[in-house]
Amino acid sequence: MIRRRSLYAALVFAALALLAPALPPYPLTLLTQALIFGILAMSLDVLLGYTGLPSLGQAAYFGAAAYAVALLATERQVGLVGCAVAGIALATVTAAVFGVIAIRATGTYFLMITLALGMVVWGLAFRWVSLTKGDNGVSGVPRPELGALDLTPPLPFFYFALVVAALAWTLLGLLVISPFGLGLKGIRGSESRMQALGYNVWLHKYVAFVLSGTFAGVAGVLWAYYNGFVGPTDVQLVTSVEALLMVALGGPGTLVGPAIGAGLIVFLKNFVSVYTKRWLLILGAVYIGVILFAPQGIVGAMRGRRR
């Protein structure tokens, strides 16, 4: 089963790589955006799908990494490696600090604490004008160079994002099938049973929380270079809600489901916004529809029908 899924994933990545040169710039940029948010959705799936911890603070780590890249690239002219390391490290440290607070709670209380912590980061981004430029954000983030390869054109940057997304999917896939990942699934099923078996439930949840923030930071690094602008909108609640919807729409606990959900939400958002400004209402309607008619998401529904 694992080999079959790996083969399917490799075929999908290969198809995207072969299809990219034939695409116009706009669809290519949408695919790049879908890859970035696919990483963000998969990072949240580690918490929601495998550990059973619904979070509304994923945008905090995504935005922290993006701000680190934007500030270092524009004010210090730091290269790709330095910006990436700094962005991912800041996201990891932020998740490590927030995790100590959030993991103490469960259920709805955990959800509300992650929401509050995410709003703290949004408040800092909005009010710390001397560093983050406030509502104006940090603009003019240049695309990096990877050796002799210039990532400024859409096609090279798409390939760069594709490679990073494939690497993130591989690492997360190895994580969830490892003994640690199986422990997370057990915690999702019954914390008391796992404690009775001698597992350190708090430590498992905390490590999952930090790793989730780390991979959200990877998405944030790509987003800063892709968008060329980082502002408070990148750390606001809507970004976290969209990530949650991507996981719910595609299917929690599958990794591939959140990636599919990310692609659907990105394309739906960009096409629907052309005709209406009421995107949030449509977002809410999609979420309600998923909960009512496909509570296990698209992938979960397909697996259930196959059985």
Model pLDDT for residues 98-127, shown as the tens digit of each residue: 999 999 888 889 999 999 999 999 999 999
The type of residue at 149 is L
- The reported pLDDT for the residue numbered 305 is 62
For residue 298, tell me if it sits in a domain: no
pLDDT, residue 106, reads 83
pLDDT single digits (tens) 130-157 = 999 998 999 999 998 887 788 999 999 9
Task: With 0.85 as the threshold, say if the pTM is over it.
Answer: yes
224 is a domain residue: yes
pLDDT at 206: 96
Chain segment 60-76, per-residue pLDDT in tens: 999 999 999 999 999 99
Does residue 252 contact residue 293 with C-beta atoms inside 8 Å?
A: no
Mean pLDDT of the chain: 89
Report pLDDT for 224.
Answer: 96
260 inside domain: no
Residues facing residue 138 across a β-bridge = 230
Find how far residue 121's CA is from the centre of its chain.
Answer: 17
Q: Residue 1: pLDDT above 60?
A: no
Per residue in 159-204, pLDDT (tens digit) is 999 999 999 999 999 999 999 999 999 999 988 899 998 999 999 9
| Average of per-residue pLDDT across 76-89 | 94
Instruction: Report if residue 268 sits inside a domain.
Output: no
Total structural domains in the chain?
1
Question: How far apart are the C-alpha atoms of 141 and 126, rounded to whole Å?
Answer: 19
Residue 149 pairs with which residues in a beta bridge? 146
Output the pLDDT for position 272.
Answer: 75
Domain of 106?
2-237
Check: CB of residue 229 under 8 Å from CB of residue 125. Answer: no
The answer to whether the beta carbons of residues 120 and 250 sit under 8 Å apart is no
Q: What is the pLDDT of residue 179?
A: 93
271 belongs to a structural domain: no
In a domain, 245, yes or no: no
> Does some domain include residue 109?
yes
Question: What pLDDT score was predicted for residue 226?
Answer: 96
**What confidence tens digit (pLDDT) does each residue in 288-300 have?**
877 777 777 777 6
Residue-wise pLDDT tens digits, 209-239: 999 999 999 999 999 999 999 999 999 998 9
Give the chain as a DSSP string: -HHHHHHHHHHHHHHHHHHGGGS-HHHHHHHHHHHHHHHHHHHHHIIIIII----S-HHHHHHHHHHHHHHHHHHS---HHHHHHHHHHHHHHHHHHHHHHHTT--HHHHHHHHHHHHHHHHHHHHH-HHHH-GGG-EE-PPP-EETTEE--SHHHHHHHHHHHHHHHHHHHHHHHHSHHHHHHHHHHH-HHHHHHTT--HHHHHHHHHHHHHHHHHHHHHHHHHHHSEE-GGGGSHHHHHHHHHHHHHH-TTSSHHHHHHHHHHHHHHHHHTTT-S-HHHHHHHHHHHHHHH-TTHHHHHHHHHH-
Q: What is the pLDDT of residue 141?
A: 94
Render pLDDT for 16-63 as a digit per residue (tens, 0 to 9). Answer: 899 999 989 889 999 999 999 999 999 999 999 999 999 999 999 999
